[in-house]
Structure 1
Amino acid sequence: MKAPVAAQRRLLDLQAADNRILQANRAIQTLPQQARLAELERLSAAARAEYGAASGELEQARLEISRIEADVETVSAREKRDRERLASSSSTKDIQGLESELASLATRRSTLEDAELEVMERVEGIEATLAEIATRRDDLATEERLLVAERDAQRGTLERQREAATSERAAIAAEVPADLLALYERQRERYGIGAALLQRGISLGSNVALTAEDLDAIRRADPEDVVLCPDSSCILVRTEESGL
C-alpha cells in the first residue's frame, strides 16, 4: 500500500488522540474514589443492620418494661384489696392468711421492681448504642456524599478530556485516506496500536530496535510505501528522527 508521507505522519496524531481516549476511559473506570465508596457502602449496610438489630432489641426491652409495670399494677391492686379486707376482718385465721399473702405480694413487688430496674438499665445501654451507631452512620453518609461529589467532578473532567480527544480524532481521521485509515484501524484493533514512530532505529510500537536487515528493507522502500513494524505489526511512520 502507498500513502502520502504527510498522511502517514498524521497517523501519529491519530494514535495520540486514541491514546488519550483510551487513557480517559481507563481513568474513568478506575476512579480512585470507587474503592472507598464500595467500602463505605459495605460499612453503611453493616451500620444499618446493626441499628435495626439494636432497635428491635430496644423495642423488646420496652415491651418487657410494659409487662412488668402491668404485673406491678396487678400486685398493687391485690395489696390494696388485701389491706382493705385486713382492716375490716376480725377473724384471726383470715388475718393470718391476709398477712401472709401481703408478705408474698411485697416479695413479688420487690422482685418485679428489681427486674424493671435491670431492664431500664438495659434500655439506657441500648439507647446509647443506637446513638453511637446513628453518629457513625451519619459520618459514613457525609463521607460518601463528599466522595461522590469528588468522584463526579473528576469523572466530568475526564469525560470532557475524552470528548475533546474524540473530536480531535474525528478531525484527524477525516484527513487520512480511507484505505490507510482502514489499515490503521485494523492493526489497532488486532494488536492494540495502529501506528508508531520509527525513532533512531527503534520501533516505538514495540520499543524494540529493528534488525539491520529490517532497517535496510525500510531504507530501500519508497517514502510513500506503508511499512509495518515486524514486532508489533503497527504502521511504522518514518520521519527525520528515524535514523535512516
Structure 2
Amino acid sequence: MKASPEAQRRLLDLQAVDTALAQLAHRRKSLPELAEIDTVSRELSALEDERVRAQVAVDDIERDITRFEKDIEQVRQRKDRDQKRLDGGGALREIEGLQHELTTLNRRQSELEDAELELMEQKETAEATLTEVKARLAAAATRREEAERRRDEAMSDITKETEFKNASRGPLSADLPADLVALYDKIRTESGLGAALFRSGRCGGCRIELYGADLNRVKSAAPDDVVRCEECRRIMVRTAESGL
C-alpha cells in the first residue's frame, strides 16, 4: 500500500485520538466509585437484613408485652369481682374460698408484672439495637449517594471528553486516504493499536528492535510505502524522529 509521508504522519494523530478514546472507555468501566458503590450496596443489603431481624425482635417483644398486659388486666378484673363479693359478706366457706383465690390472683399478677418488666427491659435493648442498625443503614445510604454523585460527575466529564475526541476524530479520519484508514482500523480493532512511530530501529507498537534484513527493509522502503512490522503487523510510521 502507498500513502504520502504526511498522511502516514497524520495517522499518528489519529492513533493518539483513538488511544485517548480507549483510555476514556477504560476509565468509564473502572471508576473507583463503581467498586465503592458495589461494596456499599452489598453492605446496605446486609444491613437491611439486619434491620428486618432487629425490627422483628422488637415486634415480637411488643406482642408479648401486649399479651401480658391483657393477662394482667384480666387478673385485675377478676380480683375486683372477688373483692366486691368478699366485701359483700357471705358464708364462711365462701369467704375463705374468695380469700384464697385473691391470694392466688395476687401472686399471679406479681408473676405477670415481673415477666412484663423483664420484657420491657428486653424491648429497650432490642430498640437500641434497631436504632443503631438504622443509623448504620442511613450512614451507608449516604455514602452510596455520595459515591453515586461522584460517579455521575466523573461519567459526565468522561462523556464530554469522549464527545470532544470523537468530534476531532471525524475530520481527521476523513482527510486521510480511505484505504489507509481501513487498514489502520482493521489492525487497531484486532490489536488495540493500529499505527506507531518507528524510532531508533524499534517498532513503537511491540517495542521490538529490528536488525539486519528487517531493518534494511524499513530503511530501503520508499517514503510513500506503508511499512508494517513483521512481528506485530502494525503500521510503522517513519518521520524525522525515526533516525533512518
- Structure 1 unmatched runs, 5+: none
> Where do 1:93-132 residues align within 5 Å?
93-132=93-132
Q: Per-residue deviation at 1:88? A: 2.2
Q: Is 2:223 the partner of 1:223? A: yes
Q: Per-residue deviation at 1:101? A: 0.8
The DSSP-based 3-state class of the residue aligned with 2:3 is coil
Taking structure 1 as the reference length, the TM-score comes to 0.96
Q: Aligned residue for 1:12?
A: 12
Amino acid at match of 1:81: R
- Structure 2 unmatched runs, 5+: none
Provide the rounded CA distance (Å) in 2 between the counterparts of 1:92 and 1:168. 111
> Where do 1:69-108 residues align within 5 Å?
69-108=69-108
Provide the rounded CA distance (Å) in 2 between the counterparts of 1:91 and 1:174. 118
Q: Aligned residue for 1:134?
A: 134
Decide whether the 8 Å contact of 1:191 with 1:233 is kept in 2. Answer: no
Q: Per-residue deviation at 1:191? A: 2.3
Amino acid at match of 1:19: T
Q: Greater CA deviation, 25-34 or 204-213?
A: 204-213
Provide the rounded CA distance (Å) in 2 between the counterparts of 1:84 and 1:188. 100
Report % sequence identity: 39
RMSD: 1.1
Q: Per-residue deviation at 1:72? A: 0.8
Amino acid at match of 1:202: R
Count of residues in correspondence between the two structures: 244
Provide the rounded CA distance (Å) in 2 between the counterparts of 1:63 and 1:189. 66
Q: C-alpha deviations, 1:48-87, integer Å up to 9, x for none?
A: 2211222122122111111111111111111111112222
Q: C-alpha deviations, 1:124-173, integer Å up to 9, x for none?
A: 11111121111111111111111111111111112212111111111210
Amino acid at match of 1:48: E
Provide the rounded CA distance (Å) in 2 between the counterparts of 1:90 and 1:180. 120
Q: Per-residue deviation at 1:9? A: 0.7
The runs of 4+ residues in structure 1 deviating greater than 4 Å are none
Q: Aligned residue for 1:180?
A: 180
Provide the rounded CA distance (Å) in 1 between the counterparts of 2:92 and 2:209. 121
Taking structure 2 as the reference length, the TM-score comes to 0.96
Amino acid at match of 2:175: E
Q: Per-residue deviation at 1:23? A: 0.1
Q: Aligned residue for 1:168?
A: 168
> Where do 1:138-157 residues align within 5 Å?
138-157=138-157
Amino acid at match of 2:19: N
Q: Per-residue deviation at 1:222? A: 0.8
